[in-house]
Amino acid sequence: MTAESGNTKNSGTTNARKSTAKRASATAQRAESKATAAAGEARSAAQDTEKAASQSVRSAGEATKRAGRAAANGLQSGQEVVTANAAKAVSAATAAWEVVKHRKVIAAGAAAGVAGVAVTAFAMGRSTAKPPVGPLTRLAGGRI
């Protein structure tokens, strides 16, 4: 082996080392770019998740507010119904108590009304039961 052939051998090994180093460097760069892209996607996914979580918390808060308002409105309308029914019951009870309290006066008034109707009917019947007479007989009171 000559010196030249020995150098050639070393030169081939050196070239092989350089090309292996270049390939390793290129592979490392590709892996780094893929890792960077994956990290960017992970960061983007984390931000999307954060936005979704905050939106779900907001919507849950709004739903809770709406449920609270609905419950308050239902309670208020229930109170209004109870108050109105209580007022009706009180007025009915008051009217019934007045009837019981003044039952004697009411009975006397009803009896007087019935008596008045009976007297009026009797008087009307008497005047219609008389035979028709002329004007002179009426002036004389029926003596002529």
Tokens of 13: 């090994």
> 131-141 pLDDT, tens per residue?
777 888 878 87
Tell me the pTM: 0.32
Q: Find tokens 């009304």 and name the residue.
A: 113
Gyration radius from the chain CA atoms:
58
pLDDT, one tens digit per residue, over 30-76 is 777 777 777 777 777 777 777 777 777 777 777 777 777 777 777 78
What is the rounded distance in angstroms from the CA atom of residue 126 to the CA atom of residue 101?
Answer: 40
Q: Within 10 A of 50 (CB to CB), how many other CB atoms are there?
A: 10
pLDDT for residue 76: 80
- The residue whose two tokens read 């180093």 is 21
3-state SS, 80-128, equals: HHHHHHHHHHHHHHHHHHHHHHCHHHHHHHHHHHHHHHHHHHHHHHHHH
Distance CA 24, CA 93 (A): 101
Q: Which residue has the higher pLDDT, 78 or 9?
A: 78
